[in-house]
Amino acid sequence: MRNIFFLLSALLFLHLYSCTDCDDTLGSSLVESSFRNISTDTCTIKISTIYVDSVMTTGDSICQIGYYSDSVRGKIASSYLAEFKLNQITPDDDHTYVFDSITITFSHCGNYWGDTLSMQNISIHPIKSEIILPDDNTLYNTSAVDIDPVRLCRYQLAPRPQSRQEIEIRLPDSFGKTLLEDMIAEKQAFDSQEKFKAYFPGLALIPDDTGNCITGFAVNDSSMYITLYYQDIYTERTEKELVFTVNKECAYTRVEHDRLGTPFEILQGGNNNAVPSEELNNCAYMMGLAGLYNQIEIPYLHELRGSGDIISVESATLYLYPKANSYLNNQLPEELRLYVANDNNVLEDQVYEDSGTTVQTGNLTVDSIYNRDTYYSFNITSFLRENITLEGMYRKKLLLNMTDQDFCTSFKQVTFSNNKSDEREVKLDIRFKVYTNIE
């Protein structure tokens, strides 16, 4: 992107052509001065990628399961681990209870990343020991749990995320029979949730390293639950079922990300380890659950002050273009958030609409025909007005991310181009007034 330093030498050119609206004399009886209206979209924008090595995923109403691999991002496997809530029957001595089957049921929520025509293989494993919450009562995408290597079953799934289809997988009969028999025997394991989770710590749904799609599933009372089907025989045979729903306080999406041998290998966790776009193929990456978001700087903003004695920023719009054709197999976030941060990347505020009360969402415009003119835009006029005079450690930055919901529950993502050879790239459109005293 062309440097702001070229602005000074271009002012004469701007004056002669359409970017300069007027050249008038103001207050000539007191001080001779002139003003010009100037617009430019050639300010240097520095955009970087920041990696968060732990994303909170406790209590989410969406989980992600699947495997994806490419030469840029590396290999990503996403699993779901969950404890289940206690439920039980109260047996009658003169009744007979006969096991029928046991299943786990879950439904697509609409999220996906990758090739939805590829087959996914999901293995269901018992969790060997109960999920223990750390001191902060939070589970992250990197939290470790002891999983039995011997699976209960394996299921082949054809992802159909937009269908919201319900999937019911049969679990081993031996698992269900033991569960029913122990309830009928009124074992202490069914006296409380604490005892139940020690008896049955939960299940892990783990993808094989095949296929190339990660799919989102709902987690609520009507999705991601275990059903025990049985018969209650007394004077007649009655079909019954007992449902065990997820205890969301002890359930989370786990993400294993192998970046070895890819451009992402240089990423290090921490908001002070931003990697400039020129070190990542002239791109900046944002990706939920993988923990990637962006830092934006305008390093030569203060040079605008050299354009005249007084500079007045009239408007400033930041345009962020996803790299052409980079979002064909993933979902772009519908909304983004822009934050103001200090030199240490400590958040100070969000970027609002002109009203000062409504948070901006990025105004996503989608080019569904050519896939090249899709962009997000933010009005950052107030930010520029407040920061045009700041330099060094006092200069503010902008941090860009998706909503907390998308960042913690999905693999929605954007690859922003910051390469001047691309047809579309990150740019800042500034319109400002220049006041100059005439001597």
Confidence of residue 309 (pLDDT cuts 50, 70, 90): low
Sign, CA dihedral 381-383-385-387, equals negative
pLDDT of residue 326: 85
Give, in order, the Cα–Cα distances in Å from 407 to each of 59, 95, 326, 331.
14, 51, 19, 12
Q: Is residue 242 located within the same domain as residue 290?
A: no
Q: Is residue 37 located within the same domain as residue 77?
A: no
Give, in order, the Cα–Cα distances in Å from 137 to each of 142, 150, 328.
14, 29, 37
The burial class, CB within 10 Å (0-12 / 13-18 / 19+), for 361 is: middle
Measured distance CA(214)–CA(80) in Å, rounded? 12
Measured distance CA(387)–CA(343) in Å, rounded? 12
Alpha helices in 201-249 (DSSP H): none
Closest Cα partner for 140 from 258, 246, 254, 267? Answer: 254
Rg of the chain's alpha carbons, rounded to an integer? Answer: 29
pLDDT in tens, 234-255: 989 999 999 999 999 999 999 9
Q: Is residue 334 located within the same domain as residue 297?
A: yes
Confidence of residue 1 (pLDDT cuts 50, 70, 90): very low
> Mean pLDDT over residues 185-201, rounded?
97
Q: Is residue 20 located within the same domain as residue 147?
A: no
Q: Is residue 273 located within the same domain as residue 159?
A: no
Measured distance CA(1)–CA(8) in Å, rounded? 16
Q: Which two tokens stand for residue 435?
A: 């006041």
Q: Is residue 220 located within the same domain as residue 281?
A: no
Q: Is residue 172 located within the same domain as residue 140?
A: yes
Q: Is residue 69 located within the same domain as residue 46?
A: no
DSSP letter assigned to residue 271 = T
Q: Is residue 424 located within the same domain as residue 329?
A: yes
Tell whether 1 is covered by a domain. Answer: no
Measured distance CA(185)–CA(183) in Å, rounded? 5
Domains identified in the chain, total number: 2
Q: What are phi and psi of 97, to 5 degrees?
A: -120, 125
Confidence of residue 23 (pLDDT cuts 50, 70, 90): very low
Tell whether 421 is covered by a domain. Answer: yes
Domain limits for position 430: 6-52+269-437
Strand 96-114 with 275-276, pairing: unpaired
Placement of tokens 């090595």 in the chain = 53
Q: Is residue 234 located within the same domain as residue 311?
A: no
CB atoms within 10 A of CB 16: 9
pLDDT in tens, 84-129: 999 999 999 999 999 999 999 999 998 899 988 888 999 999 999 9
